[in-house]
Structure formats: C-alpha cells, structure tokens
Chain A
Amino acid sequence: MNITSHCLVPAACVSDPPRAEALFREQQTNLCARTDLMFAGLLVFQWLVGVMIAASVSPIAWAGSSSQIHLHVWASVFLLGIVISVPLALVVWRRGSTLSRHSIAIAQALTSSLLIHLLGGRIEAHFHVFGSLAFLATYRDWRVLITATFIVAADHFLRGTFWPESVFGTMTAEWWRWLEHAGWVVFEDAFLILACVRGTAEMRSMAAKTAQIETNKAIVEAKVIEQTAELRAKAVALVEAKEHAEAANLAKSAFLANMSHEIRTPMTAIMGYSEALLDPQQTLSDRHDALLVIRRSSRHLLDLIDDILDISKIEADKMTVEKLPTNVVQIVSEVVSILRPAITAKGLQFRIEFGDLIPKQIISDPIRLKQILVNLIGNALKFTSQGHITIHVSSRSDCGDCLVEFEIRDTGIGMTPEQIELSFEPFTQADVSTTRKFGGSGLGLTISKRLAILLGGELTVSSTFGQGSSFFATVNGGPDSRIEYLRGLTEQSVTVQATPGKTEPQIELHGRILLAEDGPDNQRLLSLHLRRAGAEVVVADNGRIAVHLARLQSFDLILMDMQMPEMDGYSATSRLRASGMTIPIIALTAHAMPEDRDKSLAAGCSDYLTKPIEKLKLLSTIARYLPTQVEKTEASTVEALPTTATAKKSGVIRSTFSDDPDMGMVIFEFVESLPDRMTTAVKFLQEQNYAELRRLVHQLKGAGGGYGFPQITEIADRVERQIANADPSAEIMDGIKELGEIISSIDCKVDLTETQRA
C-alpha cells in the first residue's frame, strides 16, 4: 500500500493551533517541573553548604572558656531552612506551577542575600546572585528573573542603606551603590530575558512542529484504518462475490441443464415429426397433426430464445422500455385473446375484473406490459389444473402519478414461503422438478419483475401452498392529471373473440421492391413471398448492383441483406443514404444480437429482420413501410394451415412445401441446382478455397430450410462450422459427402407431381 501516494497532506498545510498551544503548555510545564526539581536540589545543597560554611568558619562563639553555637550556624540552619522550606513545599505539591518557580526565585535571591552576609559582604559572594539568575533562566520565563531581580535590588537597597557592611563589606557605602549592583543584575537580565524569549519561541515552534507531526500521523493512521477497512470490506465483498458467482454459476449450470432439456424436448418432437412427415404413406390427418406438434414446439423454442435474450439484456442493463400511449383495456384484451383459448382448453374458468376507475390510456411500453401479463397469466395457467384464473385490473394515485395494478389470481398449486423467496431469482423455479414437470425457462417471473420495475412499478406475490397464488403487478402510467378514466368496465367490455384457433392475416403488398441478396436460394424464396403478396420484385446479387439499380430505377422499398460479396449491405445502405435516398431500407441479417440491429440502423436502415425469415413477419414489416397496404383477415385457423408434409421413405426426401402449388417450380429449380453446387463445393475443397466453400455452404444452409429441406440446413450448418473451425479437410469432405447423399435422396419429380396434383 502506497500511503504517500494518496493520503498525505503536506505538513505545511496541516496546522492545529490549539494542539500546538497545548503541547507548548505541556512542554513548558514539564520544563518548569524539571527545573523546580533541579532548584529543589540546589536549594537543599546551598542550605547544606551554608551550614557547613558557618560551621567551619564560625562554629562557636566563645566567652572565656565557655562556648556556644555561633549565631551564624543557627542562622544558616534555621533562617536559610525557612527560606527554602516554602519553595520545597511548593515543589512537592505544586511542581511546575507559576507560584513554585517564583517562590524558588525569591528563595534563591534570599539565599544569595544570606550567603553574602555570612561571607561578610565579600564581593565574591555576589557572584551567587549572577549564578542564580543564570540558573533561573532555565525556566525560560523572564518573569521569574524579574522577581529575583526585584528581591536582590530591594535587599541591596535596604541593607546597603542600613547595614552596608552586611552587603558591601564596608561600613560606609555610597547611596547609589545598590543601584550599581542592581544595574549589573539588570545587565545580565537583559541577556537572560532575551534567551528566555528566544527559548520560548523555539519551544512554541517545536510544539507547532510536533502538533503538525501528530496531525499528519493521525491522518496517516486514519487513512490506514480507513484503507484497511476498505480492504477488509473489499475482501468480504470479494468473498461474497465469489460465493455469489459460484452460486450463479451453479444456477446457470442447472439452468443450462434445464435449457438443454427444454430445448431438446421440442427439438426431439420437431425432428421426430419431421422424419414422420417424410413418410409418403402417412395420411393427411397424421401430417396435419405432425405439423401442429412441430409448430407448437417451434414456438416453444422461440419463446425460450426470447426469454434468454431478454434476461441477457436485463443482466447487462441493456433493457430499455418505451414511453408510448398505451391502451390498458386493449392490452388486456390482447392478452386475453392470446391465452383464453388455452385456459378454456384446460377446463379452467377465466375471469376479468375491473376496478372503479380504469385509465383509458397511459404512458408506458405496451409490448413490455403485454409481456408481463402474458407471463403472469401463462404462469397461472401452467400451475393451475382446476378452478379459475382471474385478472383484476385497477388503478390508484401515487404521488401524483397513476399506478395501474394488475392482480392475477389462480387456484393452482401455490408456493411454500421458501419457493416464494426464490420465485423472482433468475434461473430458478420452485425446484428442479418443477422445471421437469411444468417446463419453462424459469426466467419468466424474473423478466416480468425487472420489466415491472423498469415501467415504474413492482411485481410481488402472495401464495398459499396448495391453494393458489396471487401476483400483483403495477406500472406507472404517468401524471395522474393527464389520465382520462373509464368507469364501470366489465368483462364484456373486453371484446375478445375466443376462437378455437388463431386467425392469421393475409397481407397484400403494393409496390416495387429491390431485393439485394447474394444467395440465389434466398433470392427465389423471398421473391416468391413478396410476389405472392402482390409486390413487384427486382433482384440485385450484391450491394454494388443494388446501389446501381436503386439509382437508375424507382423503388418503393429495398430489402437489403447485410452480408454480401463485393459490397455488403452496410456500405450499400450508407452510400444510398449519402446520395439522398430516402425510401425505406429493411436490413436482413443472420445475427440476432442487439448490436447488429444498432449497426444496421446506424448504417441508415429503416428496420431490421433476422434470418431465417418468417413469412408473416417479413410481409408485415414491409407492409408498414409501403405507401399503401391492404390487410384482410381471413378466418384461417392455425390448425388449418397448409398441410405440407415432408416424407422420407426408402431414402427419398421431399420438400415440406411440396404441396404448395406456387412453391413447386422454385423448389424444382433449387433442387436442380444442387448437384452442380456439390461439384463446385468439392472443387473448392480440393483447391483449399475455404472462403468460397464457406460462402457456398452458408447459402445452402440459409436456403435449405426455406425450400422445405431442413436436413440440408442442418448438415450445411455443421460443415460451415467445420470450415470456420479449420477442421481437417477430410472431416469437411465427409460433411460434403453427407450433404451430397441428402441431395441425391431428394425426389424432385415426386414433389412436382404432388404439386401438380394439388
């Protein structure tokens, strides 16, 4: 840890005057206390010396042969003892105090006075005064010097006046002699006071520096503590993150296992029924049933993929919601129209209830709101085997906003408290067996909750195990003041036709469309769909030709594949937009990630479609951009879709669209082109021209399924991945051979015959 790099404040910038003053006082007190002790020793020493001098010089006073202790001895013992007793007492009880040092100063001056007297006023004895002042300067308190000086001056004045022999050693002394002595003392004081003032200033400076050091130290220590705490918190967070990541990893592993199961189950059905459809001896009814299973399984797979993409976006914080006028009743109607058939088919009752006030239109994201409701009602449907499902719609005002509440109640299996706790966690269902029993990705509630939050609301649940669950979803509909409310809505207000099958619109297109697509198979397939819808189609093999044609001719819309040789769709779109072209351009790409969509839109495209292209989605998307369009609804149920069939019997493969009279010729042309393509593929492989080989296989992959040959798509996809992975050429050759075998198994004549028969 580099403390200095980010925590130290320059010492000069840190100051703590109160602390510096406190430190100064503390040092001063300590100094004075130490000096007090020193003087205590000195006073006692002087006392002893005084007694010794008196005892040695004049121990006894005589009168004839009789003697007595000399007065000087008593004086040194008692008088000097009294003089030093007061400061000694103060040193003991008030050490370091102002009183003690001034008392010492007085005692020291009086000691000088006594010693001078005892030594007969000898001038040498006066040096004791100067020595005492020098010692007193140790206090670094000039006031102490003043006190001592005053005592000395007063003593000299008084004794010099009345007993000059006592202080000056002479019977007669000039009146000003005390002033002379005092003057020398003041002379010394001047230097000592200067030294005291400087010493005090140095002490203050030292105290200030010490305070700075302490402050810096405190800052460093605080920083160290803070950083240590941060490091500890980070360590804890890391451990938690690790545990969370491990838990998430486990959950995702479980999720992947579930997904594997979820994907394989419908895939198995699709593949199995597809195989069955290849059997020419199957009855029309069997084929119809098989197609229903395939379509249901496909939709299930699509739902799974949608969920996975949604949760990916949510986890990456990329999920955004629109703010559009949203008709609440219409959303409910649509959701009901989607799910009521399944609910009814399961023998459940479905109820719609409305509160007193229902907003006519709110500001929200209709698609996401619909997704939430479909998820919740679908969930209720999934876990309810008898009884009813109810959706209750109401609204309330919250902080000036209109909150729309949707309660979905069911009489299903319900949840335990533990299951409730896990219900909104991603990749989690009540338990693993739930997934196996009821299916689903386990993401629906997670997605719904996140969407509800994104829409300004919340999603909560209450449930009783064995009795059912109630999910409460709220969305913020915008400012209450702008909402128009409907009153008295009933279930009948929701005009939903609960038809047993879904009606599918037949879309007619009127306009001239430029199809920029390099793959001939997709050229034919897309052209077929567009022409059958009524559009006029002009095909361009790559982006360069498309740009050229768009500039020469007039088109109402361009359908632009984004991955083409010579000039890709991005460049072509950019050039057309740069040249002022304003007609709609719809991108076609095999990638389904959001960034591809963004990239296409950034290049200038008006909209975006992913491969494989669904006919209805293709036509409805285009219809939005053409000048005129007519949509007519025909009551063709899902179950009544063309009963196309693919059969495989005795090695013979047929297109799944072989019953479609319009598809017959294009399928024939596609099949006819396959042997040459296989020859070309082998040639590219021998020449190790993997780029061209990959392009060719990619086209087969894209076109195979579109012409009703999913086997071609499957094998071509595998070969394309082998090329991409730079697998050994022998393995790629095996794949191409397998592709050749499939192609050689196609009975084109049978298709034509059946087409003509239809």
Chain B
Amino acid sequence: MLARHQMTPGRTANAVAHWPESSLMTRNKEGFSIVLFAHPRCVCTNASLQEFRRLLEDARIQLQAHVAICQPLGTPDDWLETEQVSAAKSIPGVQFFVDHEGREANRFGATTSGHVALFGPGGPLLFSGGITWGRGHVGENPGRRRVTQLLDQPTTETNGELVSVCPVFGCPLLEE
C-alpha cells in the first residue's frame, strides 16, 4: 500500500500544445520557457523543486523559468509561508509566480504539484510531466533526463510535434 502510494502519479494532465496566450507569465519568445507548478505545502514537491533547481543549474542555454505556486481560493494569509515557497524563491533565475485559484494551472492543464511544462522557441510544448520518479524522491528519473536532453539539444524537436510526457508525483494542485 505504501509502495503504491509512493509510486502512484497524480491525475494525468490535460496539457496544452502551445504556451497559452492568456497566461500572465512571460514566455521567452526566442528561446525556451519552462514552468513548474507547485503546491506550496506538498512535501513531495520538495523533491520536484530540488530536481528543478538542479535542472536549471545544469542547463547550458538561456531559458525563461517560472515556478507557479498555487493559491486556491480561501486559503489563509500564511499560505505561502512555507519551506517549499522559500525553496522556489531561492532558485536562481526563476520567476516566482503566485497562481491565484490555480488559473495558470488550468491554462496549462497542470493538475499535480511538481508538474513541469517545457516550451520551445515559438511556444510549442516539448515536455509535460514530473521530474521525480516517485513521491518525494529525488534522483535520476526519466522526466528530468528528458528535459535535460531537450535543453541540451535545442535544435531538435522544437516544432512541438513530439511531446514527451511523464507521470507527476505529488499532491493535487486543486481540489478535485
């Protein structure tokens, strides 16, 4: 039961094919943009944030990185006063975005904390999914490996015809 819990991903995302135009977050028109949707209190997301920091540190290209912290309606004032939020803010080069009522998540089709969406130049979705292999587990995993691969070879697969999808391990961003 514990293992199943550990290894059961969140609900499958209904990811968008292109960067939503209605998004309030800024896209890198010329290059890559990446967004991590996170629940500020999901303990599993710590692993995703660590992996995200590592991914960005390892990236050899310029890219626009966002961390969208979900703030559902009716949450308390200290909702964002968490370890996860601090960790997100401390990642160099990341734009911290408070996603009120999960509107951005909805726009991007993200449902689970830890969801990463990578967009290529021009806005096509290149990757959608988690960058950990289980709830709260850091370490080598297919999602991070794929993102790193896409960032290392920016010339290929930038037309959005082939989107990589990985399961996301984390808490639901919004109530279902």
State the majority secondary structure of interface residues on B.
loop
B-side contacts of A71, CB under 8 Å: 1-2, 5
Query: B151 to nearest A CB, angstroms?
Result: 22
Q: Using an 8 Å CB-CB cutoff, how does the interface string of B125-151 with A read, 1 for contact, 0 for none?
A: 000000001101101110000000000
Shortest distance from the beta carbon of B18 to any chain A beta carbon, whole Å: 26
Interface size on B, residues (CB 8 A): 32
Those of B37-68 within 8 Å (CB) of chain A: 39, 41-44
Complex contacts, A120 vs chain B, CB 8 Å = 136-137
Residues of B that sit less than 8 Å from A by CB: 1-3, 5-7, 39, 41-44, 70, 72-75, 79, 102, 113, 133-134, 136-137, 139-141, 171-176
| Interface pair A171/B133, CB less than 8 Å apart | yes
Q: B2 touching A166 by the CB < 8 A rule?
A: yes
Residues from 60 to 74 in A contacting B, C-beta threshold 8 Å: 60-67, 70-72
Q: Which residues of B contact A59 (CB under 8 A)?
A: 43
The chain A residue with its CB closest to the CB of B72 is: A65
Instruction: Check A65/B175 contact, CB under 8 A, given A163-B7, A165-B134, A171-B134.
Output: yes
Rank and list the top 5 A-B pairs by shortest CB-CB distance, nearest first: A64-B175, A65-B72, A163-B3, A64-B174, A63-B172
What residues of chain B lie closer than 8 Å to A64, measured between beta carbons?
A: 39, 70, 72, 102, 172-176
| CB-based contact B74/A58 at 8 Å | no
- Please give, as numbers and ranges, the residues of chain A lying within 8 Å of B41 by CB-CB distance: 60, 62, 67
Q: B73 contacts which chain A residues (CB < 8 A)?
A: 65
Question: Are B75's CB and A65's CB within 8 A?
Answer: yes
5 additional contacts, CB 8 Å, given A58-B44, A70-B43? A59-B43, A62-B113, A162-B3, A165-B3, A171-B141
Interface residue? A577 (CB, 8 A): no
Interface residues on A, range: 20 to 34
Alpha-carbon distance A58/B41, docked complex (angstroms): 10
Given the complex, which residues of B lie within 8 Å of A162, measured CB to CB? Answer: 3
Q: Which residue on chain B has the smallest CB distance to residue A166?
A: B3
CA A525 to CA B128, docked complex, whole Å: 164
A592 is an interface residue with CB less than 8 A from chain B: no
Task: Looking at the assembled complex, report how far the CB atom of B55 sits from the nearest CB atom of chain A, in whole angstroms.
Answer: 18
CA A159 to CA B39, docked complex, whole Å: 30
Q: Which residue of B lies closest to A58 (CB)?
A: B43
A115-148 interface mask toward B, CB cutoff 8 Å, 1 = contact, 0 = none?
0010010000000000000000000000000000
Across the interface, which residues of B come within 8 angstroms of A169, CB to CB? 137, 139
- Contact across chains for B134 and A62 when beta carbons are under 8 A apart: no
Q: Is the CB of A65 within 8 A of B43?
A: no
**Measured CA separation A214–B134 after assembly (Å):** 65
B175 touches A170 (CB 8 A): no
The answer on a CB contact under 8 Å between B136 and A63 is no
Is A742 close to B, CB under 8 A?
A: no
Residues of A within 8 A of B44 (CB): 58
When the two chains form their complex, are residues B134 and A63 in contact, meaning their CB atoms are under 8 A apart? no
- Interface residue A48 (Cβ < 8 Å from any Cβ of B): no
CA distance A170 to B140 in the complex (A): 8
Closest-by-CB residue of B relative to A71 is B5
| Chain A contacts with B in 64-108, Cβ cutoff 8 A | 64-67, 70-72, 75, 79
User: Which residues of B lie under 8 Å from residue A60 when comparing CB positions?
Assistant: 41, 43
Interface residues of A, dominant DSSP: mixed
Name the A residues within 8 Å of B113 (CB-CB): 62
Interchain nearest-CB distance for B34 vs A (Å): 23
- Which chain B residue shows the least CB distance to A60? B41
A194 is an interface residue with CB less than 8 A from chain B: no
Residues in A whose Cβ lies below 8 Å from that of B39: 62, 64
Specify which chain B residues have a CB less than 8 angstroms from the CB of A159 in the assembled complex: 3
Q: Does the CB pair A170–B139 fall under 8 Å?
A: yes
Query: B173's closest neighbor in chain A, by CB?
Result: A64
Residues of chain B lying within 8 A (CB to CB) of residue A63: 171-172, 174-176
Would A166 and B141 count as touching, CB distance under 8 A?
no
How many Å lie between the Cα of A163 and that of B113 in the bound state?
23
Contacts of B102 in A (CB 8 A): 64
Determine if A166 and B172 form an interchain contact, defined as CB atoms under 8 angstroms apart.
Answer: no
Tell me, rounded to whole Å, the shortest Cβ–Cβ distance linking A144 to chain B: 27
Query: B39: shortest Cβ distance to chain A, in Å?
Result: 5
Closest to B41 in A: A62
Does A57 make an interface contact (CB < 8 A)? yes
Please measure, in the bound complex, the distance between the C-alpha atom of A12 and the C-alpha atom of B81, giving whole angstroms. 77
Assuming the contacts A71-B5, A169-B139, asked whether A65 and B74 have C-beta atoms less than 8 A apart, the reply is yes
Question: B41 to chain A: closest CB distance in Å?
Answer: 5
B171 CB contacts on chain A under 8 angstroms: 61-63
A117 touches B7 (CB 8 A): no
Q: Please, which residues of chain A bring their CB within 8 A of the CB of B70?
A: 64
Q: How far is the CB of A443 from chain B (nearest CB, A)?
A: 112
- Residues of chain A contacted by B5 (CB below 8 angstroms): 71
Query: Given the complex of chains A and B, what is the CA–CA distance between A700 and B44 in angstroms?
Result: 144
Ordered by A's residue number, 25 sampled pairs between the chains whose C-beta atoms are within 8 Å are A57-B43, A59-B43, A60-B41, A62-B39, A62-B113, A62-B172, A63-B171, A63-B175, A63-B176, A64-B175, A65-B75, A71-B1, A75-B2, A117-B2, A120-B136, A120-B137, A159-B3, A163-B3, A165-B6, A165-B137, A166-B2, A166-B6, A169-B137, A171-B133, A171-B134
Residue of B nearest to A170 (CB): B139
Q: CB-CB < 8 A to A171: which residues of B?
A: 133-134, 141
Q: In the assembled complex, which residues on chain B have CB atoms less than 8 Å from the CB atom of A70?
A: 43
**B80 nearest CB across to chain A (Å):** 12
Nearest CB on B from A586, distance (A): 128
Compute how far the CA of A57 lies from the CA of B176 in the bound complex, rounded to whole angstroms: 24
Q: For residue B43, which residue of chain A has the nearest CB?
A: A58
Task: Report the minimal beta-carbon distance from B82 to chain A, rounded to whole angstroms.
Answer: 10
Which residues on the B side are within 8 Å of A65 (C-beta)?
Answer: 72-75, 79, 175
How far apart are A22's CB and chain B's nearest CB, in angstroms?
A: 47
A33-74 toward B: CB 8 Å interface, digit per residue (1/0)?
A: 000000000000000000000000111111111110011100
- Is A165 touching B133 in the complex (CB atoms < 8 A)? yes
Q: In whole Å, how far is A750's beta carbon from the nearest beta carbon of chain B?
A: 153
Distance to closest chain A CB from B42 (angstroms): 5
A171 and B44 alpha carbons, distance in the complex (Å): 16
A177: shortest Cβ distance to chain B, in Å? Answer: 15
Chain B residues whose C-beta falls within 8 Å of the C-beta of A67 in the assembled complex: 41
Closest CB-CB distance, A170 to chain B, in whole Å?
7
**Do B136 and A58 have beta carbons less than 8 Å apart?**
yes
The interface residues of chain B lying within 8 Å CB-to-CB of A58 are: 43-44, 136
Give the complex CA separation of A120 and B138 in angstroms.
9
Complex interface residues of chain A between 459 and 486 (CB less than 8 A to chain B): none
A166–B79 Cα gap in the complex (Å)? Answer: 31
Give chain B nearest CB distance to A538 CB in angstroms: 140
Bound Cα distance A59, B171 (Å): 13
A65 to B7, CA, bound (A): 23
B153 to chain A, nearest CB (A): 24
Task: Write the chain A residue with the least CB distance to B112.
Answer: A63
* Contact code string A529-546 (vs B, CB < 8 Å = 1, else 0): 000000000000000000
| Cα separation A70 to B123 with both chains bound (whole Å) | 37
- Nearest CB in chain B: distance from A502 CB, A: 134
Most B CB atoms within 10 A — which of A66, A71, A165, A169?
A165
Inter-chain CA distance A159–B1, complex, in Å, is 12
Instruction: State in angstroms the CA–CA spacing of A261 and B137 once bound together.
Output: 129
Q: Which residue of A lies closest to B176 (CB)?
A: A63
Docked pose: A165 CA to B5 CA in angstroms = 12
CB nearest neighbor in B for A114: B2
Q: Min CB distance, B9 to chain A, in Å? A: 13
Report the Cα distance A420→B132, complex, angstroms: 122
